[in-house]
Amino acid sequence: MEADFVIVGAGSAGCAMAYRLSEAGASVLVIEHGGTDAGPFIQMPGALSYPMTMGIYDWGFQTEPEPHLGGRVLATPRGKVIGGSSSINGMVYVRGHARDFDTWAEMGAQGWSYADVLPYFRRMENWHEDADQDWRGQDGPLHVTRGARKNPLFDAFIEAGRQAGYPVTRDYNGEQQEGFGPMEATIWRGRRWSAASAYLKPALRRQNCDLVRAFARRVVIEGGRATGVEVMRKGRIEVIRARREVVLAASSINSPKLLMLSGIGPAAHLSEHGLPVVADRPGVGQNLQDHLEIYMQFAARLPITLFRYWNLWGKAWVGAQWLLRRRGPGASNQFESCAFIRSRAGVEYPDIQYHFLPIAVRYDGRAVAEGHGFQAHVGPMRSKSRGSVSLRSSRPEDAPRILFNYMSHPDDWEDFRACVSLTREIFAQPAFAPFVKHEILPGPAVQSDAEIDAFLRNHVESAYHPCGTVRMGRRDDPMAVVDPEARVIGVDGLRVADSSIFPQVTNGNLNAPSIMVGEKVADLLLGRSPLPPENLQPWINPRWQVSQR
């Protein structure tokens, strides 16, 4: 049980690294606690609400009671399966805004500006549209497609945005993110195209890449250098050795937990749990960020929503169509139109995201409101609240403590109030006149700031985009955990490559930038020169300083 590189976690970044490292001839062992991704609950895009609530696929993490949300405990799903969270997520594909990555570089992540990361986004993509060729890749492992938008509600959403004065964008992952337009997904030929499908399964067909089903307990560090990973496998504790490097790609929840169990983290916190201090890095577990969102729901005048399938026979018909032909509603995640807008004048680039969905239902599928209806998932992109991941005990089997500290900054409340008012304006446009019957949530009675705040306190939900807990930065930054080459500061032979190293959360869903991290860190591990920067200039609204749209 030895390889050049040992990767902990077969998730978005881990799968990408396994593919690129083995492609280059290095030997790779990937440690994954979860099992197979076979079966319709993962592979059928329309079944996306199921795997994130199934213990066989999800770690089952929960937050501590959130003090600014009335003590609510929120679910924090993370994938425990090959493909990681790319096997249980909503399949939405968003790179992030160019300014997100420029901000990373300004925060100390040198070499991670948009010009630096754009070549890696292009390398990983197999994009199936024909516009913006300079911005997109078309021969990478990751298939990226758009839904058919057959339901008239998808185009009504885009047209309502145009009528409200917002731009329409052909490709929010290309030159212009800001505006309303079609949404993209990691779906190919009617199936989820996860990081396991794109990267890991092809890598495992090579002789120099293997998957080890085991529970990682800690990194083995000898003489200041990571030499392997201690695991529990088939009831026995074993050590899997790394000849060159160990890479943690275990998620923004499990990567900081593993670092702390290995003696890397805030010294006082480690000592509190009787753990020896190998490297005092106070930033481990700090800087936890996420996107929150609300579901603004509207009752439909016409019976054209997915509610028609929300019964035993309807679900059986959708399932049969998918199983037999990979077609029908089950072949889409149903997020087929979207928007990125700015909340107010003076905001340089979008800070609000919309997912539009032609049914009024919770993300986990547990409640349908008032029969036929539709909704927009909406929330701010750059919350100022910060939380933490910490150890519950020194036992590897115990889940960590997760406290996002949601809505702890007063600006977050102001940003969410803007989301509510701007969304109401969009759904009041003529394009929705044939479809909107009335507002379900928050409801017409919720108008004042106090009423909106009470609604938010009870109804905001995580968009499941945790990141930032092993922050990347300059080596002399006391709160940085990894340097710009993803090397853990204070320990040799150990890197981290997943969403935990993000200095700041990016716009939109995090699967695409997480895969990009794996692609870029693979080159760093191999000692290769980074791909040459691509200095394309993204579109920024020329009136951003004086106009909201």
Question: What would the mean pLDDT of 449-469 be, rounded to a whole number?
Answer: 97
Fold identical between 1-121+193-284+470-536 and 148-182+292-380+408-459?
Answer: no
Which residues, 6+ apart, have CB-to-CB distance to 502 below 8 Å?
104, 252, 289, 467, 468, 471, 472, 510, 513
Question: What would the mean pLDDT of 147-175 be, rounded to a whole number?
Answer: 97
Element housing 438 (H / E): strand 436-441
Nearest to 174 by CA among 121, 136, 119: 136
Q: Read off the pLDDT of residues 410-448 as tens digits, 9 standing for 90 and up.
A: 999 999 999 999 999 999 999 999 999 999 999 999 999
- CATH classification number, 1-121+193-284+470-536, choose in 3.40.140.10, 3.40.50.720, 3.40.190.170, 3.50.50.60: 3.50.50.60
Name residue, tokens 């996860």. Answer: 194
Which residues, 6+ apart, have CB-to-CB distance to 106 below 8 Å?
none
**Per CATH, which fold does 148-182+292-380+408-459 belong to?**
Cholesterol Oxidase; domain 2 (3.30.410)
Q: CA-to-CA distance for 395 and 383, rounded, in angstroms?
A: 32
- Report residue 349's pLDDT band, with 50, 70 and 90 as the boundaries: very high
Extract long-range pairs of 65-68: CB within 8 Å, 24+ residues apart: 66/403, 66/404, 66/405, 66/406, 66/407, 67/405, 67/408, 68/385, 68/405, 68/406, 68/407, 68/408, 68/457
Q: CA-to-CA distance for 227 and 493, rounded, in angstroms?
A: 7
Question: What would the mean pLDDT of 161-165 be, rounded to a whole number?
Answer: 98
Q: In whole angstroms, how far apart are CA 29 and each of 8, 19, 209, 241?
A: 9, 11, 6, 9
In the set 68, 291, 355, 465, the catalytic residue is: 465
pTM, whole model, 2 decimals?
0.98
Q: CA-to-CA distance for 380 and 382, rounded, in angstroms?
A: 6
Is 70 exceeded by the pLDDT of residue 365? Answer: no
Nearest to 384 by CA among 349, 351, 356, 361: 351
Q: Read off the pLDDT of residues 76-117 as tens digits, 9 standing for 90 and up.
A: 999 999 999 999 999 999 999 999 999 999 999 999 999 999
Tell me if residue 143 is catalytic: no
Q: What is the pLDDT of residue 130?
A: 75
User: Domain coordinates of the chain in residue numbers?
Assistant: 1-121+193-284+470-536, 148-182+292-380+408-459
- Joined together, the tokens standing for residue 447 give 């108008």
Is 70 exceeded by the pLDDT of residue 367? Answer: no
Name residue, tokens 């030159």. Answer: 175
